[in-house]
Structure 1
Amino acid sequence: MTRAAQQAPPAERRPSLDSLTGLRFLAAMAVVLSHFTETGLVQVDSWVVNALDSGRTAVSLFFVLSGFVLAYNYRELAGRVPRWNFYVARLARIYPVVLLGIAIGALGVVYAWTRPNLLLSWFALESADLGLLASLGAQLTMTTGWLPFAALNQPWNGPAWSISCEMFFYALFPLLIIWFRRWSRPTVAVAALTVWVAQGLWIAVLTHYVPANRGGFLIAQFPLTHLAEFVLGIAAWRLWSGNPIDRRIRGIALAGTMAALVTIALWAPISPAYWPMTPLFALLVVLLAARGKARSWLALPVMLLLGEASYSLYLLHLPLVRVYEMVGVPPGPAGWVVMAATVLISVVVFTWYEAPLRRFIRRRLARPTPTAMTTREVAGS
């Protein structure tokens, strides 16, 4: 360690955003419930899955959360070494569970290898060929979201497409945070509105002028399409910047935001639903963050643990579903049992695999800096 680093003042401890950590678990469970229902392991009324848009709106909430919390924790990010440590921290958080998801997903790939009907229904593959190797390469390099072919982005671990988006966002974040930090609040608001409107126009073009088999992918999974959600998360932090919000005003705004989100989810006036929801997600995140140390059921110890394990839950649940299908878990009560078991598995993975490996990678690869940038990671920081 350098002399400057040894003499550095203690790292700033920013207040943890515990309510956002609990919110992450709810978002992850929306995706899990959708996939367990779509695969037939559990049965819920169709309107529930439709309201969740098969989990797609929850993933957009993840992207907004990611932008907000990264801006909150790395608001002063600048300089070569801090940027290096930022990227190390992102890799340490993401990659160990990516590899575990591929390993579990390999069980399903091997099982379906000699079963063409399963290859087609599970992975959109008509036969086991070099496409599986290409798909594996995309999974290992976290690029599946850039490939508009189901046969390449569905094998091994389908939900990993969102990791392609996150890695893209992480690459841009050091530049984005400099811009948003320098801009005035009115400029930030105009920029956020412009990006959101541009996303809507892009979606409209894809819907009307691109064949459905390609346009649907570009709307649902393409990283460039979802950049607006990450940007709105950063903008939400910059517009709020930790300023207190009157408790009564916050309560009224929170109730109105939730009512608007539920109305859009049930009514679905615009498709995809995540587009009109994104600004509301940004407002929801600010209102929950502004609670500070005020009590919230989202910040209960059990919700904090489940929220911290939500990344493992999100990335491992579908490979585990294939295992459940392989061993013949019947739909109905047994499906609910294995879904609960999946949540418990995510807690175990977080406690004994994800968190220790994250610390190990950061210790080995991070470089000492005069001013430490790290804080407790919450809500996907």
Structure 2
Amino acid sequence: MTTTEILSQRMPRIDALTGLRWYAAFFVFTFHMLVFAPLPPLASAFLGEGFYGVTFFFVLSGFVLTWSASAKVSQSTFYWRRFARVWPSHIVALLVAIPVFYSFDPNPAQTWVKPVSLGVLALSVVLLQGWSLNPTILFSGNPAAWTLTCEAFFYALHPYISRLLGRMRVRGSLIFMIVVVAIAFAFRALTASSPGEWFSLIPLPVTRVTEFALGMALAWAMRCGWRPRVPAWVGLTSIVAVLVALVLIPRYRAGGIPALLVTTFSNELITVACVLAILGVAVRSLSGRPSVFAHRFHVRLGELSFAFYLVHATIMYVFLSIFGSQPASWLNLLWFALLLALDIAVAAALHHFVQRPIEKRLRRWKDTRANRSALVSG
């Protein structure tokens, strides 16, 4: 088939990946909760790896956008739909976060509160904060939103990477993935061996684009008919195995080569594991076999995951400012349960009253203009 024919096919929705996305968001939530309510050391060490949920988001984003791509959607419409999907919820979450993370007279004891800076906040409004490695700017506005800078950059590149992949089929896509993985590992080795050099100052949107590109290539290979027999449990177990290795090897075998390798290449190892997990879950779903992640409960939570991600840190820091940091204890699981329930409730409100209705209106406005232009030109 030609590229146009492939893109003209309507691909089935893979609900299991939506459900799986929830667990990535939940893992990020547990990571941030440790600032407020830490658990005993080993449990905290494991949940402390929760920021790798973002890696899963980036890979999955590339996969989903390529899997659902259509020849009927113009580049301008693609960009507009991405804006409609992300920016309305982002700006509402930002407005809620500002009073939590900013003050005209910050309390030195609350290290997370920064002095008001309109210039820095303006960068957050237009999602440019992630181009700085300065933590004050990188985590400005809503601290969790630095990832949206990366996503915005990925969206900008998506049509162009798609054109490159469109010249390939299964074999080419797999070679593309191997090359991207090699580049990611090589870059990490370079920065680890020569810290402080100019390449260590490359902004995150650029250094993380390999994760998005891998998701894109995986989706394109599958759209071209690739269906390897990779059980879902293999990919999911690989993620757990890498996380366990990251916690236990440096803890009990510090100073050895294995500890050096897993700590140096942790993000790359997790990225490969995420690719395997997405592949396994997608293949299982497309074969018609049931998946626990496709259960309506998980899918519903997955649909809330973007809003949940945007608000969870803000709510947690509100509790931190009121109650202070808690001593490490298993009893803190009660705080986990309370804030999880509250985060889901707030995320549901943001999703239903902001994200969905505004996205629909913005998409309808663009589609109407496109149809009018088509009629005029016709």
Q: Is 2:209 the partner of 1:227?
A: yes
Q: What is the rounded CA distance, in whole Å, between the counterparts of 1:52 and 1:116 in structure 2?
A: 28
Q: Could you list the runs of 5+ residues in structure 1 that have no partner in the other structure?
A: 1-10, 373-381
Q: What is the rounded CA distance, in whole Å, between the counterparts of 1:21 and 1:346 in structure 2?
A: 16
Offset of residue 284 of structure 1: 1.5
Name the SS of the counterpart of 1:115 in structure 2: coil
Q: Is 2:117 the partner of 1:139?
A: no
Pick 1 or 2: higher relative contact order, CA cutoff 8 A, min separation 6.
1
Cα deviations across residues 291-328 of structure 1 (Å, max 9, x unaligned)?
13432221111211110110011111111222223343
CA-atom RMSD in angstroms: 2.7
User: How many pairs align?
Assistant: 341
Report what 2:112 is aligned to. Answer: 122
Q: Could you list the runs of 5+ residues in structure 2 that have no partner in the other structure?
A: 1-7, 247-261, 327-331
Report what 2:266 is aligned to. Answer: 273
* Contact 1:329–1:335, Cα closer than 8 Å, also in 2: no
Report what 2:259 is aligned to. Answer: none
Q: What is the rounded CA distance, in whole Å, between the counterparts of 1:240 and 1:105 in structure 2?
A: 40
Report what 2:282 is aligned to. Answer: 289
Report what 1:162 is aligned to. Answer: 147
> 1:274–1:114: structure 2 CA closer, same or farther, 3 Å change rule?
closer
**TM-score, with structure 2 as normaliser:** 0.82
Report what 2:49 is aligned to. Answer: 54
> 1:108–1:206: structure 2 CA closer, same or farther, 3 Å change rule?
same
> 1:334–1:259: structure 2 CA closer, same or farther, 3 Å change rule?
closer
* Contact 1:232–1:282, Cα closer than 8 Å, also in 2: yes
* Contact 1:92–1:361, Cα closer than 8 Å, also in 2: yes
Cα deviations across residues 109-148 of structure 1 (Å, max 9, x unaligned)?
3457331332xx215x5xx26xx22320111110121101
Report what 1:17 is aligned to. Answer: 14
Q: What is the rounded CA distance, in whole Å, between the counterparts of 2:226 and 2:179 in structure 1?
A: 27
**Identity of counterpart residues, as a percentage?**
23
Report what 1:378 is aligned to. Answer: none
For 2:107, give the aligned amino acid.
R
Q: Is 2:351 the partner of 1:350?
A: yes
Q: What is the rounded CA distance, in whole Å, between the counterparts of 1:344 and 1:190 in structure 2?
A: 44
* Contact 1:56–1:274, Cα closer than 8 Å, also in 2: no
For 1:336, give the aligned amino acid.
A
Name the SS of the counterpart of 1:281 in structure 2: helix
1:261 equivalent among 239, 253, 259: 239
* Contact 1:147–1:153, Cα closer than 8 Å, also in 2: yes
Report what 1:341 is aligned to. Answer: 342
Q: What is the rounded CA distance, in whole Å, between the counterparts of 2:204 and 2:364 in structure 1?
A: 33
Q: What is the rounded CA distance, in whole Å, between the counterparts of 1:258 and 1:226 in structure 2?
A: 21
Offset of residue 358 of structure 1: 0.8
Q: Is 2:187 the partner of 1:195?
A: no
Offset of residue 340 of structure 1: 1.9
Name the SS of the counterpart of 1:356 in structure 2: helix
> 1:187–1:52: structure 2 CA closer, same or farther, 3 Å change rule?
farther
